[in-house]
């Protein structure tokens, strides 16, 4: 077995630009107290004190803030400040229009999938640039059993045939730490769990037209996978192999569809199963153009 490889964060950042601790409040809010007097149990109304009510209210606020932090921390605001920083420098006007048009999808739905939950965090429709960007958050349904990573983290260097084994590449979301790599169960946080891989590509369906673009994926500290999509609306086709032409919306709302696969990784599994099998899923959401 070869020694683990370490790559510099700037190498990975350059490749992308060219092509929290969260709150965990204790849910225990009160304890039952049994009082006895002279061997008798007095009839008492169970009533929360004002202090207990205040504690509950504060914990609800804290838990809500924690959930919100997990969901929005790695949205497009964070992405352009910490990961794909080149856009702000090279195309400041495009960056600003994306920020000005950020919104939560009007509605979203996902097909039934036993392995992952998929949610669109934000979307930006930049009409004059013929551009749409959005981020997606993917979480394992059973985090006690599965450890989730993007499929792109597997064999990032492309030398799996030379090694005759798959390697998992690990890096921090903002490249603040070096990249390390090695056999999956040496790289995972908990080798006792099953490695779950999330696979998708840079194509989406918009109003029954296939639109091409670019996407990025990474694993966040809370165990979720974040996907960033940048769709070039000048590159659309109505059928496979058809002529590419600009996407033409037919109304004030566009229906967007993203397809994915969740694959349970096992040592020695066939490549066909790894790259074509797994459990498929589909996420659809609506984008208001006005």
Rg of the chain in Å (alpha carbons): 23
Q: Which of 58-72, 105-119, 130-144, 173-187 has the lowest mean pLDDT?
A: 58-72
| β-pair partners for 221 | none
For the segment 95-123, the average pLDDT, to the nearest whole number, is 94
Residue 273 pLDDT: 94
Closest by Cα among 148, 181, 172 to 82: 172
Residue 3 pLDDT: 47
Backbone torsions φ then ψ of 91, nearest 5 degrees? -130, 70
Q: Quick one: what percent of the chain has pLDDT higher than 70?
A: 75
The tokens describing 1, both together, are 């077995």
Q: Considering the entire predicted model, what is its pTM?
A: 0.76
* 227-238: burial string, b at 16+ Cβ within 10 Å, e else: bbbbbbbebbbe
């Amino acid at each position: 077995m070869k020694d683990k490889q370490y790559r510099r964060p700037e190498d990975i950042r350059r490749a992308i630009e060219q092509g929290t601790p969260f709150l965990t409040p204790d849910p225990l809010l009160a304890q039952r107290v049994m009082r006895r007097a002279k061997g008798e149990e007095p009839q008492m109304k169970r009533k929360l004190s004002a202090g207990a009510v205040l504690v509950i209210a504060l914990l609800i606020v804290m838990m809500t803030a924690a959930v919100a932090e997990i969901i929005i921390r790695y949205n497009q605001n964070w992405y352009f400040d910490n990961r794909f920083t080149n856009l702000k420098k090279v195309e400041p006007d495009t960056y600003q229009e994306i920020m000005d048009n950020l919104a939560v999808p009007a509605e979203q739905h996902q097909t039934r999938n036993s392995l992952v939950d998929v949610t669109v965090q934000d979307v930006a429709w930049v009409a004059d640039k013929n551009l749409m960007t959005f981020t997606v958050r993917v979480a394992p349904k059973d985090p006690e059993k599965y450890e989730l990573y993007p499929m792109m983290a597997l064999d990032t260097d492309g030398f799996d045939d030379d090694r005759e084994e798959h390697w998992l590449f690990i890096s921090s979301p903002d490249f603040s730490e070096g990249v390390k790599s090695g056999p999956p169960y040496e790289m995972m946080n908990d080798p006792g769990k099953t490695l779950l891989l999330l696979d998708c590509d840079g194509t989406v369906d918009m109003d029954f037209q296939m639109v091409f673009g670019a996407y990025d994926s990474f694993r966040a500290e809370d165990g979720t996978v974040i996907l960033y999509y940048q769709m070039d609306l000048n590159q659309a086709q109505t059928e496979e192999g058809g002529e590419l032409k600009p996407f033409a919306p037919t109304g004030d709302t566009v229906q967007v569809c993203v397809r994915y696969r969740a694959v349970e990784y096992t040592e020695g599994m066939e490549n066909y199963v790894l790259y074509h099998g797994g459990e498929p899923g589909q996420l659809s959401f609506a984008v208001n153009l006005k």
